[in-house]
Structures are given as C-alpha cells and as structure tokens.
Amino acid sequence: MELVLFLTGAGISAESGIPTFRGPEGYWQIGSRNYRPTELATFAAFREMPSEVWGWYLYRRGVCLAAEPNPAHVALVRLERAIGERFHLITQNVDGLHLRAGHDPERVYRIHGDLHSFRCMEDCSFDVHPIPDDLGPKWEKGRLPTADELERLRCKHCGALGRPHVLFFDESYNEELSYFESARRKAFDADALFVVGTSFATNLPNQLAAIAETRGIPLYIIDPEPGPYARLAEASGGGYFQGSAVELLPPLIEREID
Ligand code: OAD
C-alpha cells in the first residue's frame, strides 16, 4: 500500500450527531426569516449582519464541541498510526472531530477552515486566532453575541472585527487558508482515493475526484447516497459502498491494515 488519500465530508460526522449541510436541519431563523446555510455562510451576509452570522457560527461551534468523534473518525486515526506518512486526509469538515480523534495535524488538510478559530475580516494577515473557550459551549439557538463578546473577536493586529475561519460560499479556495495546491498535489501523488460522506457540492473535492479519474487510481466511496461519482468508483478498481460511515469504514480499514 502506497500513499492513501482520504477525503471526508459532513457525512462522517453525522453519526456524532452533527447535522449535515444539505440535510433537513440546516435552516436558521433570523427575525421572521428562514435562511439556508448557502445564504448565511457568505462574506456578503457577514458584512451586512456580522452579529447574526457570528450567532449562527457560535451555536454550531457549541454543537460540535458537545459531540464526540465516532468509530469512523477513530478508524482513520488507527490507519494513520499503522501506515504513518503514507496516510493523508483532506476534510471539508469544520467541526474539529478528526483532530480530536487524535490525528497528526500535519497530515490533515482542513480545506474549509474550522469552527474554533477566527481571523481578520479585512484580511490584514492570514493569522488565525482561537475563539475564546467560553464562546460557543451551550450557546442557545438564536442568541446573538453581546457587544463585549464581539470585542473579544477582534483582529489582534489591526483591531478590525474578526470573522469565522471558514470558507464562505462566496469565496474561493487558496493555498494560504485552504491548502488548495497542497490538496491537489496529494491527489496527484496518491495511489488510492477514499471518499467518505460528501455530496461533492464544492469545487476542490470535484477536482480531487477528477484527478483520480485522469490518473486511473482506484476510487472508493462510502455514502448512503450514490452521488455523482459512484459509477466512476465502480469502474475504477475501487468501489461504491452504500451505507453509513460508522457501519462501513472501520471494517474497510481493518482489511487495509491486514
Ligand atoms: P453535505 O451535507 O453536502 O453532504 C453530506 C453527505 O454525507 C451526503 O452525500 C450524504 O448522503 C452523506 N451522509 C449522510 N449521512 C451519512 C453517514 N452516516 N455516513 C456517511 N455519509 C453520510 O456535506 P458536504 O459534502 O461535506 O462548505 O458539504 C460540502 C461543503 O458544503 C461543506 O464543507 C460546506 C458545505 O456548504 C463550506 O462551508 C464552504
């Protein structure tokens, strides 16, 4: 077994109790209006109503902090420990569960950022800062941060308001914040690509699957829904495995390790 590349999406954390993006629980109410994540998780929305957008993210942060890594996250750590630098993980998830399960952070590219950090909304630097520990846990749904709480989310360098360190829907990938080139390079180096729980709704994951196809490496997909690449996976020498991450990933990894 040579370089094994994993790509994960919200589906791997579903059985930890974190709602997926496109599942039915995704809505958010502000005043009398319901927003979809695709409307609220944008830089345009953040500029217009930073307090409301921060309220949503701090609530989500609280949900993620209360969740625990599940056996699928743990199985990936076991594989990393077994094969070391031949393992690499690209994740779209901002929940922090992969790192909490025990991965070496150097081998995990978090291409959409994470819910536990913020950075300058004016981009005065690429530095990211931890969100204070008490902002998020037990956050009531719909609560807005107070003026004092927002003060604690200011850029440490220039004093501008901080923003969640996540890739918003109206933003593009880059290397500095989302490891765009590094992730693509890993796909060019990989001998197999394993994908768990993503709908392939964003650009970079699609590019990784396309690179795998062009190179003719085996593509394995675990997801209850076939999605756009199941047939490619079947034809690639890998396979599409229909079902949940917790049910299917640990036994697949045990077979790889043996
Ligand atoms: P989605 O919510 O779009 O898709 C979740 C995927 O997980 C779907 O294909 C489900 O079928 C699958 N799924 C659900 N339960 C599962 C389970 N128990 N085991 C395995 N798979 C399961 O989430 P993502 O594909 O991660 O981006 O979404 C990609 C990105 O879009 C997110 O990172 C976020 C979002 O908008 C940004 O914030 C930029």
Q: Which atom of ligand 1 is nearest to the CA of 9?
A: 26
User: How far is it, in rounded angstroms, from Cα 215 to Cα 58?
Assistant: 41
Catalytic option among 112, 129, 157, 165: 112
Amino acid identity for residue 221 in this structure: I
Q: Which atom of ligand 1 is nearest to the CA of 201?
A: 29
pLDDT, residue 240, reads 98
11 within ligand 1 shell (Cβ under 6 A): yes
Strand ranges, E, within the chain: 4-8, 28-30, 33-35, 87-91, 108-110, 113-120, 129-130, 162-166, 192-196, 219-223, 239-242
pTM of the model: 0.95
Give percent above pLDDT 70 in the chain: 97
Amino acid identity for residue 20 in this structure: T
162-166 vs 192-196, strand pairing mode: unpaired
User: How far is it, in rounded angstroms, from Cα 172 to Cα 230?
Assistant: 26
Q: Compute how many other C-beta atoms are within 10 angstroms of the C-beta atom of residue 55.
A: 21
Contact 141, 14 (CB under 8 A): no
Radius of gyration of the chain (CA): 18
Instruction: Compute the distance from residue 161 Cα to the ligand 1 centre, in Å.
Output: 29
Please give the average per-residue pLDDT across 11-25, as a whole number.
84
Q: What does the pLDDT look like over 69-123, one tens digit per residue?
A: 999 999 999 999 999 999 999 999 999 999 999 999 999 999 999 999 999 999 9
Assigned CATH for 1-18+69-112+167-258: 3.40.50.1220
Say which DSSP state 152 is in: T
73 is catalytic: no
Q: What are phi and psi of 28, to 5 degrees?
A: -140, 130
8 within ligand 1 shell (Cβ under 6 A): no
Instruction: Compute the distance from residue 154 Cα to the ligand 1 centre, in Å.
Output: 30
22 within ligand 1 shell (Cβ under 6 A): yes
Q: Residue 39 pLDDT > 70, yes or no?
A: yes
Q: What does the pLDDT look like over 142-187, one tens digit per residue?
A: 899 999 999 999 999 999 999 999 999 999 999 999 999 999 999 9
245 within ligand 1 shell (Cβ under 6 A): yes
Give the pLDDT band (50/70/90) at residue 42.
very high
Q: How many distinct helices (H) and strands (E) make up the chain?
A: 12, 11
- Residue 95: closest CA among 30, 6, 164, 3: 164
What residues does each domain of the chain span? Answer: 1-18+69-112+167-258, 29-66+129-164
Comparison of pLDDT for 29 and 165, the residue scoring more: 165
User: How far is it, in rounded angstroms, from Cα 254 to Cα 79?
Assistant: 8
Given ligand 1 and candidates 198, 206, 229, which is best to mutate, with the most ligand atoms within 8 Å of its CB? 198
Amino acid identity for residue 251 in this structure: P
202 within ligand 1 shell (Cβ under 6 A): yes
Phi-psi region of 214 (alpha: psi -120 to 50; beta: other; left: phi over 0): alpha
Contact 249, 220 (CB under 8 A): no
Q: How far is CA 256 from CA 10, 76, 251, 252, in A?
A: 23, 11, 9, 6
